[in-house]
Chain A
Amino acid sequence: MTPAETATVKPATAVGPTPTGGPAPVTGIAPARLGRQSAPATGPTILPVKQCCRVGDGRTAGPDEPIIVLAGAPNVGKSTLFNALTGARATMGNWPGTTVETARGVWRHRASQPVCDCQDCDCRPSDQRPRQATVIDLPGAYSLDSQLPDERLTRELVVDPPADEAPDLVVALVDAAHLARSLFLVSQLREHAVRLVLAVTMGDIARDHGLTVDAEALAKAVGVPAVAVDPRRREGLGDLARTMLAAIAAPAPEPRPRVEDAQPGDDERFAWIARAVERGTEDLGRASVRRADKVDRLILHPVAGPIIFLALMWAVFEITTTAAAPLQDGLDQLFSGPVSNGAAHLLGWLGLGGGWVEGLVVDGLIAGVGSLLTFVPLMTLMFILLALLEDSGYLARAAVLTDRVMGALGLPGRAFLPIVVGFGCNVPGIAATRSLPNAKHRLLTVLLIPFTSCTARLTVFVMLGSVFFDRWAGTAVFLSYVASIGLVVLVGLALRSTLWRRLPADPLIIDLPPYQTPTIRLTAAVTWVRLKGFLQTASGIIVATVVVVWLLQSVPLGAGGGGFGEVAVADSLYGGLARWVAPLFSWTGFDQWQTVAALIVGFVAKEAVISSWAQTYAIAEDNTGLLAEHVRAAFEQSSGGHPVAAVAAFMAFFLAYTPCVATLAAQKREVGWKWTGFGVALQLVVAFGLAVIVFQIGSRL
């Protein structure tokens, strides 16, 4: 029930103008009178326009003057036209009997104003015509069928009242840039005996889109006068005034035949709209539309489309890693050198040097947070490139391609949306599965999302790509994304062929935006929001993890290794745990305990992997040398001379195993512990199997 329907109700007899001339303060509404499912109107009712405006109180033109209502969809310029007509001298307030806000004002026109454009005719004297009229700005409405209070009011005031209580003229504003959309309301209005004039607005925007609306042709198609106006620039108002005066003086046009049943009726209306659009529109932009269509045919081609998509994504990663590499190296050296040394000197000067405080601050916080900050240039560049692709309209096309692949494999089309979200961050991706109505779809998608390569994993892929693949770093990162898509598809197929053999599939339709030149403002804004969000999330996780890792690294595992904070990392609780797990990875080529420790930290949060890695080496090696050198040496050693195969196996494992505890919490919330546990087991089995295959094959090549 709407607020209007629960408002105070007064008897119908109280409805009407007050003795002082103002409308009666009726605040009730008769639900039965609204919409098509009408019941006998026994209660209070909405005041029709004539009753409401039959007073000369300065807010209306007077009891004998005509009443004009402005109707149309939201944002077509109704209020601007209203202000232009009334000089912005308006009375704002809820329409009596409703909570819907309307504006009323007086439109005054010059008596000498001609009533037509003819040069030779004698239809000039307008003295016989009204000198002023009450203008009512109705709330935006797309149709007369809606149950929304704003739209119901339009129906209630314009087509439902008795003829002698109806407004004298309806001016329907139609958006030239979205003509078909605007004409639905017009098609319904034309089914009633109302005097109607079309005011065609937004002509400038339509021209930018390559469209021109021919008001005369549109008028013929619709069967009522149509005038092009630009209320913002006060253009066309004279024509509109003459047309309104002429329309008020003329009888209402013959209504269109109406099909009573809702569905055939709507179909007939759209057929009428399509004819009106065809007759009333000159599509000057057909050439550009055809060009865009040709581009779409290529970009969305079943074979060429995916190749272009992959090529563009490869370019994004290649540009990102190549251009950001020097800045990354510079920042890495800055944090491992001057910043760390400066902090150590400062702590020494404060008398805190050499102890656990220096360990926590220099080897923990500065090494950890510094390692994250080295990725700022890279993330910035990547977010800029992705924002450019998105703003240009390309990413929407990529969505069509991806959906096509999923559809071809029999995966639910709607599941595509949360999976796309998962490529940004798995946690909101899992939350997004709530929009899937089918429980099996939800469960399957929740299980697949952890295989999407989130932004946090990207930092590790970029670091490893730069260390091991040199000039092919971008390609390596790109391949990790391709592998991620492949994993989603393969695991999805495997689950479908085993657990869910029968799944209904909803068709998904992407509403493609037109191509456009990306704007610097939007690109910068989107980039900044994403970068800020990434840093906020990552820095919080990293600081917390650094402290926990530092604590674990400070606790001695057994006697004889030293006290708290004095123990070597290898002999600490942290090192002991990693050493205990490490042998499990002997088939994968990365069973060095430092590497495995990073994976354990990654189970908590992928953002913290590099920081903990840096922290481990900074403490273990008792220096703050470059992380890259330590990591390269570790893989070299653990793989028996096949570091590239081992790091590829590590990346495969990193891609497929559990993303973070936040994702586990989100999964538990959506599908419960049982399926969350199944998901973790699935991820670990897939990750381990993949890593073994990659290393065993790679090391033999």
Chain B
Amino acid sequence: MTAGPLVRVRAACASRQCRSTADIARRTGLPADVVAAVLDHLVATGELRAEALVSGCPATGCAACPVARSCPGVAPGRTRALTLVGAGVEAAA
């Protein structure tokens, strides 16, 4: 039986060959919209951790930042970085 989009995207994430969502779309042959939906699902289920990629801000947010009050680099990013977390890595590997 052919693996579905979820399995294919999860495997692509764990393959260490894909560094962007575009890589995943190419590797899995799925439309970018479907890849984005699957990644959102994996974030929602806790298999992936999403962090906003901004220049100058800690991923832990302003609350944990010691220079938040006079921050030199607050800039809302359009980009996010996704990482497989714990069990997700082992399950997919």
Contact = CB atoms under 8 A, between A and B. Distances in A.
A507 interface: yes
A273 interface: yes
B66 A420 contact: no
A540 B4 CA distance: 57
6 closest cross-chain pairs (CB), A and B: A424-B56, A432-B58, A267-B4, A533-B72, A180-B37, A424-B73
23 contacts: A180-B34, A289-B32, A300-B19, A397-B20, A407-B16, A413-B83, A418-B58, A418-B59, A420-B53, A421-B56, A424-B55, A424-B72, A427-B66, A428-B57, A428-B71, A429-B58, A432-B57, A432-B59, A506-B83, A507-B84, A510-B19, A530-B75, A666-B66
Nearest to B43: A511
B75 A390 contact: yes
Contacts of A432: 57-60
The majority secondary structure among interface residues of chain A is: helix
B78 A513 contact: yes
A417 B81 contact: yes
B16 to A, nearest CB: 5
Contacts of A417: 51, 53, 59, 81
Given A184-B37, A399-B81, A421 B58 contact: yes
A270 B55 contact: no
Interface string A406-428: 01000001101110110111011
Contacts of B81: 399, 414, 416-417, 508-511
B73 A428 contact: yes
B13 A509 contact: yes
Interface in B39-93: 39-41, 44, 48, 50-51, 53-60, 64-67, 70-75, 77-86, 89
B56 A536 contact: no
B73 to A, nearest CB: 4
Interface of A: 142-143, 146, 178-181, 183-184, 263, 266-268, 270-271, 273-274, 277-278, 281, 283, 289, 293, 296, 300, 386-387, 390-391, 393, 395-397, 399-400, 403-404, 407, 413-414, 416-418, 420-421, 423-425, 427-429, 431-432, 434-435, 437, 455, 505-513, 526, 529-530, 533-534, 536-537, 540, 662, 665-666
Contacts of A281: 33
B2 to A, nearest CB: 9
Given A273-B34, A403-B19, A435-B51, A428 B75 contact: no
B58 A511 contact: no
A266 B41 contact: yes
Contacts of B84: 506-507
Given A184-B37, A511-B50, 12 more contacts: A178-B37, A183-B37, A274-B31, A387-B75, A399-B81, A424-B56, A424-B57, A427-B67, A428-B65, A432-B60, A434-B60, A511-B79
Interface in B1-16: 3-7, 13-16
Contact of B41 (A184, A399, A437): A184
Nearest to A211: B33
Contacts of A386: 55
User: Which of B5, B33, B59 has the most chain A CB atoms closer than 10 A to its own CB?
Assistant: B33
B4 A530 contact: no
A68 to B, nearest CB: 26
Interface residues of B, number: 60
The majority secondary structure among interface residues of chain B is: mixed
B15 to A, nearest CB: 7
B5 A428 contact: no
B66 A428 contact: yes
Given A273-B37, A425-B73, A537-B72, A507 B79 contact: no
Nearest to A423: B55
B43 to A, nearest CB: 10
B31 A270 contact: no
Contacts of B54: 421
Contacts of A662: 66-67
Contact of B79 (A399, A425, A533): A399
Contact of B19 (A179, A418, A509, A666): A509
A176 B36 CA distance: 14
B12 to A, nearest CB: 9
B57 A421 contact: yes
A678 to B, nearest CB: 21
Contacts of B73: 421, 424-425, 428, 455, 530, 533
Contact of A509 (B6, B21, B77, B78): B21
User: Which of A271, A386, A418, A537 has the most chain B CB atoms closer than 10 A to its own CB?
Assistant: A271
Given A146-B44, A421-B55, A510-B21, A268 B4 contact: yes
Given A274-B5, A417-B51, A432-B60, A511 B39 contact: yes
B19 A400 contact: yes
User: Which of B39, B72, B79 has the most chain A CB atoms closer than 10 A to its own CB?
Assistant: B72
Contacts of A509: 13, 18-21, 23-24, 39, 48, 81-83
A513 to B, nearest CB: 4
A277 B83 CA distance: 26
Nearest to A454: B72
Nearest to A414: B83
B16 A510 contact: no
B83 A395 contact: no
A530 B67 CA distance: 13
Contacts of A396: 53, 78-79
B72 to A, nearest CB: 4
B6 A537 contact: no
B74 to A, nearest CB: 5
Contact of A529 (B4, B39, B75): B75
User: Which of A181, A413, A509, A537 has the most chain B CB atoms closer than 10 A to its own CB?
Assistant: A509
B57 to A, nearest CB: 6
Given A271-B4, A418-B59, A510-B79, A181 B16 contact: no
A536 B82 contact: no
Contacts of B34: 180, 270, 273-274, 277
